[in-house]
């Protein structure tokens, strides 16, 4: 396979499905040799409009677009939903092709984590110990799993640009820090949250929600909107209180609803001259949902 074969894949509603990293590197080598730009969109599949917005952004900016499709066991803790995480590879391939992907890299677990695998990439400190990284929640091990697999993808694909969604704001901050600290030659693009018509942030886990739970889940985005409106009028603490009240009225007890600096995730107590990230996580039925808003000064 060469660049000539890669380039028209999206035009024909087709996409190259590759399983092995050697096969992937061989396919991308001509593009790299000719100085073509490579964009990477890492996913765990079960694509929704959020993923597709990343693919379309990559298509607009890059000569070759690679989407990874890998449900990463290293970022799931005991008792989490690894086994029932939604999967539909055929649908994903079709949607990826329509959105402009040239290559879908879908390696087997045994290739990513071969027998005897013993090396991990971990961003330490505040970035991975608060919010989802709190040991009482998903814990820092979750982010160790994320950074390890993303580092491996960067090594296998060698992208110029990698695209992530703002819905996973903490993950994006962690990956930016990893890239900075380890000198990965890749630009990280974080694109806005894509929402359903009812304002629920798009997530593969939304598939777990029953109809009544889906209605209750919209309280997360309503709570964040309340935080923003009230915080700009009466201060951040009043805003957080308003957000908690919205969740309480929907019968939702959040794991967290917190204001943090969007870069280092240090706690923020009042609005100042920098944007403030307000992040929320809550269990609604079988779905653990996250959402956030950036309050601009």
The tens-digit pLDDT sequence of the chain (297 residues) is 344 355 443 433 589 999 999 999 999 999 999 999 999 999 999 999 999 999 999 999 999 999 999 999 999 999 999 999 999 999 999 999 999 999 999 999 999 999 999 999 999 999 999 999 999 999 999 999 999 999 999 999 999 999 999 999 999 999 999 999 999 999 999 999 999 999 999 999 999 999 999 999 999 999 999 999 999 999 999 999 999 999 999 999 999 999 999 999 999 999 999 999 999 999 999 999 999 999 998
Whole-structure pTM value: 0.95
Euclidean distance between CA atoms 256 and 38, whole angstroms: 37
Confirm if 284 and 205 have CB atoms less than 8 A apart: no
- Complete domains list, the chain, with CATH: 3-191 (3.40.50.620), 204-292 (3.30.1300.10)
pLDDT of residue 212: 97
**The dihedral formed by the CA atoms of 141, 143, 146 and 150, expressed in degrees to the nearest 10:** -120
pLDDT of residue 297: 87
Confirm if 130 and 138 have CB atoms less than 8 A apart: no
Q: Based on the residue annotation, tell me whether 48 is a catalytic residue of this protein.
A: no
pLDDT of residue 6: 55
Euclidean distance between CA atoms 34 and 36, whole angstroms: 6
pLDDT of residue 9: 39
φ, ψ of residue 57 to 5 degrees: the values are -65, -40
Q: What is the pLDDT of residues 226-260, one digit of tens each?
A: 999 999 999 999 999 999 999 999 999 999 999 99
pLDDT of residue 190: 98
Confirm if 144 and 122 have CB atoms less than 8 A apart: yes
pLDDT of residue 14: 83
Q: Determine the straight-line distance between the first and last CA of the chain, rounded to whole angstroms.
A: 50
pLDDT of residue 117: 98
Out of 10, 51, 142, 273, pick the active-site residue: 51
φ, ψ of residue 16 to 5 degrees: the values are -85, 120
pLDDT of residue 242: 98
Planar angle of CA 169, 247, 49, nearest 5 degrees: 40
Give Cα 239 distance to the centre of its chain. Answer: 26
pLDDT of residue 76: 97
């Amino acid at each position: 396979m060469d660049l000539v074969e890669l380039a028209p894949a999206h035009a024909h509603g087709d996409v190259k499905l590759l399983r092995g990293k050697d096969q992937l590197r061989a396919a991308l080598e001509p593009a790299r040799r000719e100085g073509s730009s490579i964009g990477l969109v890492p996913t765990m599949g079960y694509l929704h409009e959020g993923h597709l917005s990343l693919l379309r952004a990559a298509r607009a900016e890059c000569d070759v677009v690679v989407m990874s499709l890998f449900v990463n066991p290293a970022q799931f803790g005991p008792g989490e939903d690894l086994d029932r995480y939604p999967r539909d590879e055929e649908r994903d391939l079709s949607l990826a092709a329509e959105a402009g992907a040239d290559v879908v890299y879908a390696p087997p677990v045994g290739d990513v984590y071969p027998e005897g695998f013993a090396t991990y990439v971990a961003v330490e400190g505040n970035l991975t110990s608060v919010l989802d990284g709190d040991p009482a929640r998903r814990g820092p091990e979750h982010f160790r799993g994320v950074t390890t697999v993303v580092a491996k993808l960067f090594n296998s694909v060698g992208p110029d640009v990698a695209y992530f969604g703002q819905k996973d704001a903490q993950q994006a901050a962690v990956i930016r820090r990893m890239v900075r600290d380890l000198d990965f030659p890749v630009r990280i693009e974080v694109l806005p949250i894509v929402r359903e018509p009812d304002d629920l942030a798009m997530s593969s886990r939304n598939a777990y929600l029953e109809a009544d739970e889906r209605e209750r889940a919209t309280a997360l985005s309503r709570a964040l909107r309340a935080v923003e409106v009230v915080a700009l009028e009466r201060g951040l603490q009043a805003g957080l209180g308003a957000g908690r009240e919205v969740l309480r009225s929907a019968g939702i007890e959040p794991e967290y609803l917190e204001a943090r600096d969007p870069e280092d995730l240090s706690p923020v107590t009042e609005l100042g001259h920098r944007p403030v990230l307000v992040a929320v996580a809550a269990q609604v039925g079988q779905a653990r949902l996250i959402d956030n808003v950036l309050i601009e000064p």
